[in-house]
């Protein structure tokens, strides 16, 4: 089965795998896993503004790690951006990166793995696997 991981889950696979539930680890090991380019963009921005001091990997090294870890880099497409409009804008969850990842999961008909409880608000739109 194919799964999309959100940015936090991707970061944890690299620097804090102990934060992943055993069920999440099993999914990551036994399925086709995708990391969106959106996550790389989010990481680049957070690194630039100092929000990820514990995460020293460059984007080029991240792309290599995605391949080494047998994950797949998912390029952003026009369909993904078009699906953004299908994700409701909630007052208590306005994060643009999360919303674009949700749109990608919707567009690709792929469950998304996240530790963000806010993703549960979108269960009627996407398949959500909570870590």
pLDDT at 56: 87
Residue found by looking up tokens 């497409």 in the block = 77
Please determine, looking at this structure, whether the domain spanning 2-130 carries the CATH number 3.30.70.3170: no
Q: Is 58 helix (H, G, I), strand (E, B) or coil?
A: coil
Q: Domain locations in the chain? A: 2-130
Q: Each residue of 27-64: b (16+ CB within 10 Å) or e?
A: bbeeeebbbbbbbbebbeebbeeeebeeeebeeeebee
pTM of the predicted model as reported, rounded to 2 decimal places = 0.95
Give the 3-state secondary structure of residue 48. Answer: helix
Give Cβ neighbours of residue 26 (< 8 Å, ≥ 6 apart). none
- Smallest CA-to-CA distance from 84 within 98, 73, 72, 70 is with 98
Residue 2: Cβ within 10 Å count: 13
The pLDDT assigned to 59 comes to 95
pLDDT in tens, the chain (131 residues): 999 999 999 999 999 999 999 999 999 999 999 999 999 999 999 999 999 998 889 999 999 999 999 999 999 999 999 999 999 999 999 999 999 999 999 999 999 999 999 999 999 999 999 99
State the Cα–Cα distance between residues 56 and 1, nearest whole angstrom. 31
């Amino acid at each position: 089965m194919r799964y999309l991981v959100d940015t936090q889950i991707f970061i944890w696979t690299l620097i804090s795998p102990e934060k992943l539930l055993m069920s999440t680890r099993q999914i990551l090991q036994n399925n086709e896993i995708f990391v969106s380019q959106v996550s790389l963009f989010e990481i680049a921005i957070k690194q630039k503004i100092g929000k990820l001091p514990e995460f020293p990997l460059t984007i080029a090294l991240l792309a290599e790690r995605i391949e080494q870890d047998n994950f797949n880099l998912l390029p952003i497409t026009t369909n993904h951006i078009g699906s953004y409009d299908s994700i409701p804008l909630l007052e208590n969850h306005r994060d643009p990166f999360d919303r674009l990842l949700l749109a990608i999961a919707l567009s690709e008909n792929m469950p998304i793995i996240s530790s963000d409880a806010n993703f549960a608000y979108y269960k009627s739109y996407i398949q959500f696997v909570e870590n």
